[in-house]
Structure formats: C-alpha cells, structure tokens
Structure 1
Amino acid sequence: MLPIWRVSWRNITKNSRRFFFTLTALVMGLTLTTAMLVADRTVKVTFAYYEELYAGSADYWIQSRDVTFQESAVKGVEEEAADVLRVLDKETRLMVGEDRDVPVRVTGVSKWETDLLKLPLIEGKRGGLVVPENAARLWKKGVGDTVRFRDLGEMEITGITGYTPWLAGPTDWDQAEGKSFRVMMDLRTLQEGLDLRGDISYIRWEQQGGNSLKRYEEQLAGTSLYIQPVVIDDLRNNDVDGLYSVFTLVSILSLFISGFIVFNMISSSVMERRAEFATMKALGYSAFHVGRLVVMEMVTLSILATILALPIGVWSADAFVAMLLGIFEDTMVYTLNWKGATLMSAAIGLVFPLMAAVVPIMKAVKTPIMAGIKDTEPRIKRSGIRYGAGGVFMLSGIVDHYAGTLLFLLGLILVFPLILGGMTRLLSPILSMLLGYPGTLSAGNIRANLRRNANTAAMVSISMTIVMFLGAVLASMPAGLEREIRETFGGDVHVQFEDPVDSTFILGDRHGIEDLAPYHEVLSVWKTNEGEQREFYLKGIPPGKEEFSLFSGYEGMVEPGHILLGERAFEEWGGEIGSPVTVQTPAGQKEYTVSGTVDTSQDGGYTGFVAAEEFTVDFGWDRSRTVMVTLKEGIDPDEFRSELREAYPTALSSITLEEDAITSAQSAFDGMNDVMLLLLLLIIGLSSIGISNTLLMNILERNSEIRTIRAMGFTYGQVRKMILGEGLLIGITGTLMGIIAGMMVIWMNDNSSMTGMPLIMPWDMMLYASVAGLLLTLIASGVASGMKGSKK
C-alpha cells in the first residue's frame, strides 16, 4: 500500500491545470498576507527606533518659558542625575556658493559619547561639525570640506549622519524655502561663536535614584523652568495606520478569493470521487480514513503553497516598506522584522486552506456506500430563503454604519445566482449572434451549474467593488486634507521666532499684513484612559476670529480647566466627553475635562486645545514665539516669506505657508494611484484565476457531453467558443455588477457620518478596472478552453 502522503499528492496533481490554478491562488493570497504582516511589524519597529534614537536614555528634560536659560540654574538637579546632556538650539545662516545663504538651525551639545545622544553616523566621526546626509548632498559637501556660517565663520565637516529626528531638515531646495537645515556641533563652540556663554535651551538627563517628578517640580518652583518626562510616542509623528488598513483590506480580500478557489477545487474533487469514497467504505474503510485522506491532500497543498509564498512575501514586504517610508520626507533606514510575522503567516498558510475546505471534507466523510451505485446526494433547493436573506442584507446597507456596507456585500453574494441568471437571459441573444450556436450552449451551461458560476461572478464583483471603494478613498483624501487645512490652518502664514516677542511691534506695520494673532503651544505629556503616557502639543486657542481658527466641529467658548482633543488624540485617549484627562503642563500635572473632539489639521489631529488664559495665567507665558498672519489680497506668500527672511535673518526659526502644509500633506499620497493600479491588477488577476478554475471544473464535469457534441460534428473551435461564452457571461456580469455595487458603496459611505469626508467617484479607476476585468476574463477563458478536456 502506498504511503498516504503519496496517495494525497497523486490525487491533488491528477488534474495538473486545476492544481496549478489552486496553488497559484493560494501563493498569491499568502504572499500578500506575509507582505502585510512583515511590513506592519517593520514599520512599527522602525518608527519606535527613531523615537528611541531621539529620546536616548533620557528620563526627563527641563525647558524654560524664556526659551534659553543659564546652565547654573539647574546645578542642584544635575547633581542627582546619572548622566546629563546640555543642549542649545540657535538659528543662523550658512553660505551656499558665493552669493546665496540659507537658514540653518545649529544644535550645540555638551557631550558626544553618551546614551542620551545617539547618532546614526554613516561617515566621519562625532565632534566638531556633524551634518545630515540630505544637507551634505544638497550642499555638495563631504567629510573634510568646510562650510561658512554668517555668525560662526568657517568650520570643517567632521561627520555625516543618517536620518535622525535631532537633525531632520529639508530634503530638497523647495523645502529649504520654509524649513531650516539642521547641523550639530560642540556646545562651547556655539556659545562662544554667538557670545551666549552659559546659555542653553534645555537639558536632558538620565535619572539616578528614586526621586519623583513632584520632587523635581518643587526644586524648580519659582523659576522660569519647567520639567517634562521623556516619553516615546511615535503616534505623534506618523499616521500610517489608516493607509496600512487599506492594504490590509487588500490582503484579506486576496485570502478570501484564494479560499474560494480552494473551496471550488476540493468541492469538485470530492464530487468526482464520490464513487471512490463509497468503494473505500464498502471495503471496510471508516469515515475517519476517508476524512484523513482528504485532509492530507489539503495539508500537502498548504505546505507547498506556504513554502513558495513565504520568501516571495518577505521580498514583497521589503518593497512595500520602502514605499511606506518613502511617504515621509526624510530617508529612513530599516531592517525587515520578518521572523515573528513570517511564523504567523506560516500558521495562516497551513490552517487557512483547511478552513476553506471544511464543508467539502465533511461531504466526503458523509459519502454513503450507495453513492458507488447511484447519485444519492439530496438536491435541496433553498433559493427562496437565500434570495430573501440576500435582499434583507442589501437593504441593510442604508444603515449608517460600516456594518451596513458589509451586509450589503454579503447580500449581493447571496442574490448573485438571480443576477447571473437574469444577465444570462439578457445577454444570450447577443452571444448567439456573436458566437452562433456555441453561444446559445454557453447560456445553457451557465444555467445548468448556476450556483458555482454565480459564486465565481460574485467573487469578481466583490473584488471590483472593494478596489473601486479604495480608489475613491485615496482619490478623496488629498482633496479632504486640503479642505481641512484651509479651514484649520490658522491664517495664511505661521511665523516662529527664536525668542518670545511682541509680535505687534515687530510685524504689525509690515507691508502686506492684513491681521495677526499670536498663539502658544507646548509639548506635553498626557495619559490615555488606560493610564499609558503619550505626548502631544498642547495649544492655546487663539482670539475668536474665523480666519485664525485652528479647528472645526465645536461651537462655543472653552472654559479654563477644559480641553478639546483632536480626532486622533481623542481616539487614542479612549475616554468619553465629560471625563477628565491628565496632562503634564508647565505648571505641573493637571486634570482637564474633555469638552469635545474637533476636526483639525494641526499635527494630524493628534493634539489638544485649551483656553489661551491657561498659558498666560497658569503657565506664566505672557509672550509668544509663534504668530499667525493673514495677508492682504494680492500679496504673494512666497515673496512675503522672502522679505521676512531678509528682514530677520537669524531671529526666525521657521516660516510656514498654508500652501506648504497642503503640499506636505498631499505628498504622502504621491504614487498611491500607481500602487492602487498594481493592487488592482493583482486582485483582478487573482479573480481571473478563479474564473479559469470554475470553467475548468465545468469542462471536467461535462467531458462526456463534450465528447458527444464533438462526435456530432462540433469542431474544436466551436467548443472553445462555447467555453469562451461561459467565461464572458461570468466576467461581464461580475465586472458590471462590481461597478454598480462599487458606485452604491461609494454613495452609501459618502452619505454616512462614519466616513468623515466626501468621496470622489474614481472614474479613472472604474475604467481601468473594467478594461482589466474584461481583458483578464478573456485570457482566463482562453486558457480554460485550451484544456485537454475541451479538445476531446
């Protein structure tokens, strides 16, 4: 007797084409799943790495309401620290060429060899002058070359570092118009060069012993200094979860399609071998032995698909991570975190095909002995129940919830036999006219096995629907972001000074300014509803002028002691409106009552807003560093920025235009349409494999019929036309209903309060999907009609 695994291998490869289609579908589904899992883990670890790179081993840091302070002011605190890093940030200018200078923000550090400062050096050494690789590339400078500062003279570049939040700066010359380059040097060199002896911007230290935060606050009481814990919170600097969810949905859809193909394959195999199973039982084999044989076939297929898919998936994850991190302006380095994710994907690959084959396996187990003599399988029609349930589910789509969309799609699947039957009757005359009598037979063959063909067409339809919906979301997000930025940016230009200023005195009489308003913000630590520490910018609500609004979606005044949370911060907090949230402010730890959630473009919605009095009264900040400006009609913002740079060459930290914020936000979606087109081809291609698989099973089940019509004079070409007609009926119905369903899903979500933004109909995606769907249907039908069975 042959080993069971050899028997299983013979059974699943007996029909090589069906085996190839099923294996290919499984490999594609598992490849995408592996890529998504590895990419998710890698991106999260990469962001955490760069946050830790910035935080180092620091436990606390001290800043001043006056921006800078004397080193001697914190000697008492420093004595209790295990390690201390003093830092001074100052703006200056750097000469690029003979007649051009650019803004540069110089960071002076008191020591280089410390766990408080981690630099990913790629060339040269620490100490002296260290520049990021983007700046070195744009300046066309390398280690050993000299650069000339306006206030510091010439200095030699001693090291070049990769991306680090410490030195994040422009990546091209357009960004350099509103964003300063960043470099790092010795603290004493910077202090002496700018005649700022003893001045620092902040200190970071690693705690020694068990002193509490409250103890440090008591030591700093009565001074202009305040303390904050150092918290690693990568959510503040990135928001890729929504984007990643899109691709996760694609991987789930791929698994769904591949599972459907596996289900079809094993179902067909079980039906073909009913007599074989009946004979086995007649010879003394139990139901367990029959089930074990079929399970072993699926295990063999699963193992083979998993072995093939995992390395391809890891390779795909590398490309996917590069695409995701490419959204951000700086070049991030990463290492694929593939081990744990690959093990999880392997588990999915081994278990998922078995789950998809549960029903066919149970049918094989329950095969009666009499099945070897005649077809004893009961044929129960439950079409009425199926169509009724489908209709109810489709009507549930009007429910204003994401579950309504899922129920609508489920209902569409249930009523698809009715849809395919109707389309077959509608298209039958056209097929007969185009293909002749083979076209008439095609329509009859579709109706003869309506359930299976309808399921295949439904698979195509759902794929088209989801791809269209994703296309609408990606097409709408840039427009939605632009609208939100224009509504909540606050003026036309944000000007940030090096030191607190009387903005009215400095900017009030400048040409081109219509109005201005100062506002305060401070990086603060806060706690989620589960007690986890997070970090965001706490912002003071500016004067009640519509042109300076920083958020929307909340009417009325915010009283002292209350806070508004941006949508992302509110979601991460996890509490309810009216509940308290704990925030570490410059005045110490404080509980604010959450008055509501707001829509804002500030920090991607990961922020909080309090009354302006909180800063001026409680925090003791009577002056501001940031000023919002509205320009008079006809004033060019770029020219206004250039004039400010010339007027205040070293007094400004940054000048951000509204258009800069829009460009930066929309740049995250550059190339997304190309990626979606690629995913479209993958999904539609996977669906076409399903069509080929279904047509192949139809052919195998009708071998005797095909031989009969061939004996009656049907040519091979006519048989191919018949099969081509069946594929076209499935593909056209699936594509057409996918477009209609896609439009309905887009419309439902466009009118839903859950979506949060109007959706744009993706007409280009619809065209590409239709062409790809019909073209791949023709290819799939052509492949299926070329099978050996169709030539008999």
Structure 2
Amino acid sequence: MLSIWQISWRNSTQNKKRFFLTLLAIILGTSFVTSMLIADKTTNDVFDYYEQMYVANADYWILSDEHTYSEKLVSSIQDHPSVKDVLLALDKQAFFELDDDHSLNERSVRITGVSDQNSSLLELPVIEGSLDNEGVILPAPVAELLGKGVGDTVRFADMGEAKVSAIVEYTQLLASPSDWEGAESTSFRVMAPLEQLREWTGMDDAVSYVRYQTNGDGDILFQSLQEEFRDNYAYVQPVVADTLQSNNIEGLYTFFYLIGVLAMFISGFIVFNMIYTSVMERKKEFAIMKSLGYVQSTVSKLILMEISLLALIGTAIGVPLGIWLGDLFMQALLSVFKFDMVYSLNWIGPAITAAIIGCLFPIVFSLFPIYYAGKTSILLTLKTANQPQPSSRQSIIRAIIGLSLLGFVFVDHPISYLAITASIIMLFPFLLIAVTYVLRPILQLLFQYAGLMAVKNLLGQLNRNANTAAILAVGISVMLLLGAAVESAPEALGKEIRNTYGGDVKVTSEAPWSAEDQAKLAAYESVTAVEPLMEATPITWETINGGSRQFSVFAVSEDGPSLFEHPEEKDLYKELGQKRAVLLGNRAFDEWGGRIGQRIQMNTPSGEQEFEVIGAVKTAHYTGYAAFMDEKFLRNEFGWTHPFDLLLSVNNAANDSLRDQLWNDFGAHLGKVQTVDEEIESTVSAVAGMNELLLVMLVFVIGLASIGTANTLLMNTLERIYEIGTMRALGFTKPQVIKMIVAEGMLIGLSGVIGGIAAGTILIYVTSKSEFMEGFLTFQLPVSNVILAMISGVLLSLCAAWTSSRSASNMDIPSSLKEG
C-alpha cells in the first residue's frame, strides 16, 4: 500500500512539465534570496574586516591638533602597569624620486613611520616579503604602479632610499591610488621603520600619534590622561571601529533585500498559481475522497505534503546555487569600489536562513489553496462540472478597489508603494483586455485565425492570465524604480556636494595652516577667497543606547563657508553661537537615535562633554555622518584650535597650473589637493557602476516571471486538451496550435511590459515628489532599463510560450478527445 508521501509525490509529478516549471521557480526564488542574504552579510563583513584591521588590537590612541608632539609627553604610558602594548607612529609627507616624468602631486607620498611593524596594534596582510623593521612596506597597488618588488630600492626626494621589505594587501592605513590619474588628487601611502623616518627628516623626538592596548578596560588611565592633556595640544580618544563615516552602504542593503523579496514574491505567485489550479482540477477527486470517509484535515494535509515536497527539493537545489550566485555577485559588486578589496564569503548563516525561507514561503503562498481543497463540497462539486467564472459585479468591485488604492499616488508615505502595487494587480485584468483588443488586428494579421483564438483563450482565463502579466509588471516596475534611483543619484549627490563643499578646492596639510600660508594663497591670481576649515577628528561619542561611535566635528559660522543645508539655516547659525550645541548630519542623527533638544556625549580634546543637539542637517561631508559646532565653541570649549584644511574659491582663470603651484609652494607639508568636481566624481562613480549590476538583475527578475508565464500557458493548455483535440480533428494544424499559444504568450508579455513601464513611471513619480526622499530622485525614466525590459520581457515571454506550445502541438488527437 502506498504511503501518503508516495501518493503526494505521484500527484506532484503527474504533470511533469508543470512540476518542473514550479520546481524551477522555487529553485530560482530560493537561490535569489540566498545570494542576496550572502551579499548583505559578506559586504558588511568586508567593511567591518577592514575597519577592524585598521584599529587592530588598540584600545586608545593619543593624537594632536598640531600634527606632532614630543615623545616625552607620552613616555610614562610605555611603562604604565595597565598598558600591555604601545605603538608610536609618525606621518610625514614626501615625494617619490622616479625616473619617469611625473608631477609633484603625482609623486606625493605619505610615509608612516612605526616603532614596530610586527606590533599587535597593526594588521598588515603580507602578500610577499616580511615585516622585518628594516625596509619600507608598499601596498600592492603602489608596488605594481612603481614596478617594485621585495628587495628593490625606493627613493624619496631630498630624504633617502630604502629597500622594499614587504608588499601587503589593501588596508585603510595604506590606502593608495592604483593609477596615475588617481594620484593627481590622492597621495600614495607607504610604511617605514620609525627610526629610519626620523633619521631622514631630523624629527628625532616627534610622533604623530600613539596607539596603546591596556590589560583591563583602561578607563582610569583614560580619564587621567584626559585631565593631563586638558590644556595641552595632545588628546586621548578610545579606538572605535566605526565604518559609517567612510562607507555609506545602507542603500546597498535595501537593494539586496528588495531584490530578494521581489524574487520570493514572484516565485510564490507561481507556486500559488500551480497549486490553486491543481486543486481546482482535482475537486472531484477530493469530493470522492471525502465521500469515502476522508476528513477535511486529511485532504488539506495531502496538498500540504505535495507542496512541502516541492519546497524541500527546490530548497535543496536552490541554496547551493544561491551560494554560487552570491560569490559571483560579490565579485561584481566589489569591482565597483575604488580599492582592490578581498572578501571571505559569509554563507553559512545566510544559507541556513535561506533554507528556512525556501521551505516556508511556498507553503505560505499555498495556504489558501490548501484550505480550499479541504473545504471542497461533495454535492456541489459532483453537480458542477465547470469552474465558476467571475461575475460582472466582482469585476466592478475589483475595479473600484484598484482605483481606490491607486489614489495613494497622492499620499506621501511608504505604505503608498504597497497600495500602488496592489492596485496594479487589481486593475490588470482591465489593462489586459485593453491591450488584447488594441492588438487584435495585429495578431490577426500575423497569426490569422490562430491569433483570434489566442484572444478568445486569453479572455477565457482572464484573471489567471492577468495575474501572471501583473507579476511580470511588478517585477519590471520595481527594477525601473531602482534604475531611476541609480541614474538620479549622481546628479542629486553632485548637487548636494557642490552646495555643501564650502568652496571649489580643498587643500589638506599634515601641519596646521598658518596665517602667512593663508595670505600667500590669497595672493594667487586664480584664488578669490581662502577659508580655513577646522575639522576635529577623530572624535568619539555615544549613541542614546550607549554605543560608541566616531565622526568629525566641523567649525561653522554664519559668515563662513556653507557646509550644510537646512530650511532654517540662519536661525541654526545664531543658536549655535549662543550655547553649547551641535548640529548632526542626517546619518549621524539617525545613528545617534535621540531627539532634537536632547544632549549628545562626546570625548573632546578638553575631556568628556555634553552638547545639545539642535537640529539634523543635510551635508555631503562624510555623506552626512558628521557634526557641526560654532567656531568659537570648537576653539575655546571643545579644545580644537588649528585648521588642517583650507577651502579655496577660484575664478574662471583657474586651471591645472593651480595644483602645480600649490605643490611647488607647500609640498613640504601638503597632503592632498582635491577639487569639488573630483569629490563628486569619486562619490558617484560607485553609484554609477551599480547600474550594470541592476541591468543583469532586471533580466533575472524578468526571466523568473517568464517561468510563471510558461506555467500559466501550460495550465491553460492542459485545461483545453479536449478543445485543442477537437480543433485538430477539424483541421487545425500543428503550426496553427503553436501560433495560437505563442500569441497568448506574446499578449501576456506585452501586457506585463506595458503595465510594468506604466507602474514604474507611477512609482518614480511618487518617489520624486516624496518629501522623505528630499529631491534625491528626479522624475525621469531610465531609458536603458526600459529598453532592456521591453526586449527581454517580450522575448522571454515568447520563449516561455514556445515551450508550452510544443506540448500542445504534440498532443495525440484520439487521446485528447477522450478527455472530453
């Protein structure tokens, strides 16, 4: 006697093509979810890894607002009983001495001298060589660009030379440009032994910062050092691994989850369609089972076991496939970023989560058919041969609900997106009818009588076909919205950067800018204004929940450069000048978790202090992860007295010679020269690179939706076996059958594409008008995405229709007539 599991397996595989298509949908849906979960966790791990590598095992560090201080100032720390390890570091700007003809700015290099290259307070992943404290350490991009290997000699202008002792992977401490174009605005970074650097520079007792690790929590020593350095030019800070200032990737996580949910939704619909159709086809079977003594729960259990088998098989195949896809996606994703990062695929946790989701979501989407199968009425089913068709009243109600939900276009709230999506699905039968009648003459011209039959058949199963096209439309609309966001981002970010950068050129020095330096710069012919930019960094602070974070605090004044945007900007400047208060960038405000009027706690150069938060502002500086304070408070109470950056405003006569002039005049301590255009290009390049990934994902989503089209057409065909057999017996040829079903698929695909573009346009419009988005997205259709959606949507739907049409054309006429 067959067990219930064997019966479930036999029922599931009775129609092999439908079983395969449904299983394929579950596999792809599960693999998409798996790959997106893996991408989310792995990307987060990558940035955490590099941040942890940067801070290593250090607990605290001692810095200065004058660039360097005497080693004697911190000599007592090295012998302190609570200190486990100490690392001394000195930063010095220099220039490579090269045989090739390169400008000063291209040859600029920051040398970091450290007391111990093998210290536990450093993390240097060695590719080649060893950390022997004898030679210089080059990051791999620099070694490749200079053509240097271990044992080769590197020369520094007016300083000396040293052999390369090691080549290391990317690390934030030695982050360097990988080409000469990048070297125009960013210095190279290398590492050397501290004593060697002191010998070259004559800075025998100088250090730029000291890192130290404690045996315990080190809080007592930290507080005593804060007090000791209160009126000094050195200050102590806890070392905090906070990636938010250097990496704004929250939107990337949203992208991952949105794609995963969309794939699961499309797969779930395909499963629902298959199970519901199967239940409707087997109503007589369920009625007979119940007449023989089976109860409602037994019938529902049988359907539940059928879908559970599909879910288990699909998950078992989909999760490993998703791990592989996740690896491919990570390779493509990290190639978008500026630096050559390495990663370790975090797949175990996401795979487990995806396996649970993969087993559950087909069941969740099938709950209604499962319940409906158990509720099958014996008498009504045995009396009724055909499925009830939706009445005119039901269609009117559906139209009213759809139009009502579409009214959420005028509601500025995240719930609007769900309402608009639901309205698309509710209104799609009417769109399908409209598209069908508009294209009817064209179908008749292309496919003759088979085209007219396709129209009749499509309208005969209107809701099912409309739902299939609607799912394709939803997928296209969401991907178009993402495409519009990616295309709008460069323009929006560029505008924000230009409005809050504060000038045309930012000039960074390793030493504070003197009044004489500023006067010399103001005398430049192309410079119209010179504004000091005071940035206290790094400053640690606490969230409302007590978490430790780190950002920069900028000095602002009403007559100074504009570093942020706010509708009440003038009032905020006045309020900042009247009390101990700060403004937080929007991302910093969200991370802080408090409300305007509450106080934020910071570890300042003058010790631990609290400041009232009087507002959240938009700024391009560190993508909103920063704070702003009145200049006099930053100097006097906060304890930061020197500017290391200058903002230059330039006239139309400014050109590349300005950069050369800056390096010639201030090359001894100049660290970086960056124009606002270079900042914009650097910021938007990664966003722009995401569009290629988005196009690939668009094709994947349409391909998944096309499986639903193939499944629907196959079910439509199986329900019309007798009808098709009769048509064949009366002279309908195999090519005509193929044309009929291909025409149906084309109508579904075209309706889905048209509806998807229309829905995408609506979603883009709603987003562009949303105050929540604050003008980030402009109302424009991503043309490349639209073209790709049209081509792939129609072609993949035709391929799906062709697959179903082959089954119909190969039907045996006598056997199909017996089905009647």
Q: Do they fold alike, i.e. is TM over 0.5?
A: yes
1:379: Cα distance to partner? 6.5
Alignment correspondent of 1:125: 130
1:87 matched to which residue of 2?
A: 89
Q: Which residue of 2 aligns with 1:473?
A: 485
User: Which sits farther off after the overlay, 353-362 or 108-117?
Assistant: 108-117
Map 1:385-404; keep pairs closer than 5 Å.
385-404=397-416
* Deviation, structure 1 residue 257: 0.7
Q: Bigger CA drift: 128-137 or 754-763?
A: 754-763
Match of 2:546 among 514, 526, 531: 531
- Deviation, structure 1 residue 542: 5.2
Distance 1:659 1:565 in 2: 25
Whether the 8 Å contact between 1:456 and 1:690 is mirrored in structure 2 is yes
> What's 1:555 paired with?
569
Query: 2:258 — aligned with what?
Result: 249
**For 1:106-157, what per-residue CA distance to the aligned partner results, in whole angstroms no more than 9, with x for missing partners?**
1111123322112111111112211111110000000000011123312000
Q: 1:474: Cα distance to partner?
A: 0.7
Asked if 1:731 is matched to 2:736, the reply is no
Q: Equivalent residue for 2:703?
A: 685
Corresponding residue for 1:2?
2
Query: Whole-Å Cα distance in 1 between the matches of residues 112 and 311 of structure 2?
Result: 56
In 2, Cα distance between the equivalents of 1:677 and 1:620?
50
Which residue of the partner structure matches residue 147 of structure 1?
Answer: 154
Q: Which of 162-171 and 419-428 deviates more? A: 419-428
Match of 2:307 in 1: 298
1:704 is aligned, of 709, 715, 722, to: 722
1:768 CA drift (Å): 1.8
Per-residue displacement from partner, 1:329-362 (whole Å, max 9, x unpaired)? Answer: 2211111111111000000111111111111111
Q: Give the direction of change, closer, same or farther, for the CA distance of 1:187–1:301 in structure 2 (3 Å limit).
A: same
* Corresponding residue number in structure 1 for 2:794: 774
Q: Kindly provide the amino acid, as one letter, of the partner of residue 536 in structure 1.
A: F
1:443 Cα deviation from its structure 2 partner: 2.0
- Counterpart Cα distance in 2 of 1:340 and 1:391: 43
Give the whole-Å Cα distance in 2 for the aligned partners of 1:291 and 1:387: 32
Once residues 169 and 361 of structure 2 are traced to their aligned partners in structure 1, the CA distance between those partners, rounded to angstroms, is: 42
1:415 aligns with 2:427: yes
**Partner residue in 2 for 1:199:** 206
TM-score normalized with structure 1 length: 0.96
Residue 507 (structure 2) aligns with:
495
Alignment-derived partner of residue 498 in structure 2? 486
Q: Name the counterpart of 1:519.
A: 533
Q: After alignment, is 295-304 or 335-344 more displaced?
A: 295-304
1:628 corresponds in structure 2 to 647
Query: 1:71 corresponds to which residue?
Result: 71
Task: Determine the C-alpha separation between the residues in 2 that align with 1:378 and 1:441.
Answer: 21
Q: Deviations over 1:229-254 (max 9, x none)?
A: 11111112111220231232122111
Tell me how far 1:622 sits from its aligned partner. Answer: 4.0
Matched, 1:352 2:335: no
Q: Does 1:436 align with 2:448?
A: yes
Conserved? CA contact 2:141–2:178, under 8 Å: yes
**Following TM superposition, by how much is the alpha carbon of 1:371 offset from its aligned partner in structure 2, in angstroms?**
6.0
Q: Please tell me the residue identity of whatever aligns with 2:118.
A: E
Q: Answer with 554-563 or 767-776: which moved more.
A: 554-563
* Equivalent residues of 2:539, 2:602 under 8 A apart: yes
The structure 1 residue matched to 2:182, chosen from 175, 178, 183, is 175
Distance 1:460 1:91 in 2: 57
Name the structure 1 match of 2:805. Answer: 785
In structure 1, the residue corresponding to 2:204 is in which secondary structure? coil
Deviation of 1:719 (Å)? 2.0
**Secondary structure of 1:157's match?**
strand
Residues 227, 607 of structure 2: 8 Å contact kept: no
For residue 732 of structure 2, the aligned residue among 685, 689, 714 is 714
Classify 1:641/1:705 alpha carbon distance in 2 versus 1 (closer, same or farther; 3 Å): same
Within-5 A mapping of 1:278-289 = 278-289=287-298
Q: For 1:570-609, what aligned pairs fall within 5 Å after superposition?
A: 570-609=589-628
1:384 is matched with which residue? 396
> What secondary structure, in the 3-state scheme, does the structure 1 residue paired with 2:629 have?
strand
Per the alignment, do residues 703 and 790 of structure 1 end up closer, same or farther by CA in structure 2, a change over 3 Å counting? Answer: farther
Distance in 2 between the 1:176 and 1:423 partners? 56
Alpha-carbon separation, structure 2, partners of 1:211 and 1:747: 53
Superposed CA deviations along residues 528-560 of structure 1, whole A, max 9, x for unmatched, are 222211111111115625xx3221124111324
Please provide the CA RMSD for this pair: 1.9
Paired with 2:672 and 2:381, the residues of 1 have a C-alpha distance of 83
Change (3 A) 1:221 1:549: closer
Q: Following the alignment from structure 2 to structure 1, what is the Cα–Cα distance between the partners of residues 600 and 690? A: 37
Structure 2 CA distance for partners of 1:276 and 1:620, relative to 1, 3 Å:
closer
Residue 641 (structure 1) aligns with: 659
The equivalent residue for 1:20 is 20
Query: 1:752 corresponds to which letter in structure 2?
Result: S
Contact preservation (8 Å) 1:259, 1:352: yes
Q: Deviations over 1:590-612 (max 9, x none)?
A: 22222222221111111111111
Of 726-735 and 467-476, the range deviating more from structure 2: 726-735
Answer whether contact 2:139 2:190 (CA < 8 A) is retained.
yes
Partner residue in 2 for 1:276:
285
Alpha carbons 1:62, 1:227 under 8 Å: kept: yes
Unpaired segments ≥5 residues, structure 2: 814-820
Are the structure 2 counterparts of residues 384 and 370 from structure 1 closer, same or farther at C-alpha, using a change threshold of 3 Å?
same
For the Cα contact (< 8 Å) 1:31–1:313, is it kept in 2? Answer: yes
Structure 1 residue 479 displacement after superposition = 1.1
Is the CA contact 2:737–2:808 (under 8 Å) kept in the aligned structure 1?
Answer: no
Residues of 2 paired with 1:660 and 1:454: CA distance? 49
Q: Which residue of 2 aligns with 1:222?
A: 231
Greater mean alpha carbon deviation, residues 77-86 or residues 166-175: 77-86
SS in 2 for 1:327: coil
Instruction: Measure how far apart 1:620 and its partner are.
Output: 4.4
Question: How far apart are residue 191 of structure 1 and its match?
Answer: 1.1
C-alpha displacement of 1:473:
0.6
Check conservation: 1:310, 1:346, Cα contact below 8 A.
Answer: yes
Alpha-carbon distance change, 594 to 329 in structure 1, aligned in 2, over 3 angstroms: same
Q: How far, CA to CA, are the matches of 1:226 and 1:3 in structure 2?
A: 75
Q: Specify the code of the residue in structure 2 equivalent to 1:417.
A: P
3-state DSSP of counterpart to 1:196? coil
Q: CA deviation at 1:373?
A: 2.9
Bigger Cα displacement from structure 2, 63-72 vs 95-104: 95-104
Contact 1:552–1:599 (Cα < 8 Å) also in 2? yes
Q: Aligned match of 1:462 in 474, 478, 481? A: 474
Instruction: Using the aligned pairs only, state the percent identity.
Output: 40
Q: Distance between the aligned counterparts of 1:108 and 1:761, measured in 2?
A: 52
**3-state SS of paired residue (1:786):** helix
Give the letter for the 1:709 counterpart: M
CA shift at 1:782, angstroms?
1.7
Counterpart in the other structure of 2:117: 112
Contact kept in structure 2, 1:731 and 1:774, CA below 8 Å: yes
Alpha carbons of 1:151 and 1:251: their partners in 2 closer, same or farther (altered >3 Å)?
A: same
Q: 1 CA distance for matches of 2:112 and 2:520?
A: 26
The structure-2 alpha-carbon separation of the partners of 1:664 and 1:496, relative to structure 1 and needing over 3 Å to count, comes to same
Whole-Å Cα distance in 2 between the matches of residues 113 and 721 of structure 1? 73
Alpha-carbon distance between aligned partners in 2 of 1:378 and 1:452, rounded to the nearest angstrom: 13
Pair 378,425 (structure 1): closer, same or farther in 2 beyond 3 Å: closer
1:706-729, Cα deviation, whole Å (9 max, x unpaired): 112222222222222222222222
How far, CA to CA, are the matches of 2:100 and 2:460 in structure 1?
82
Aligned to 2:629: 610
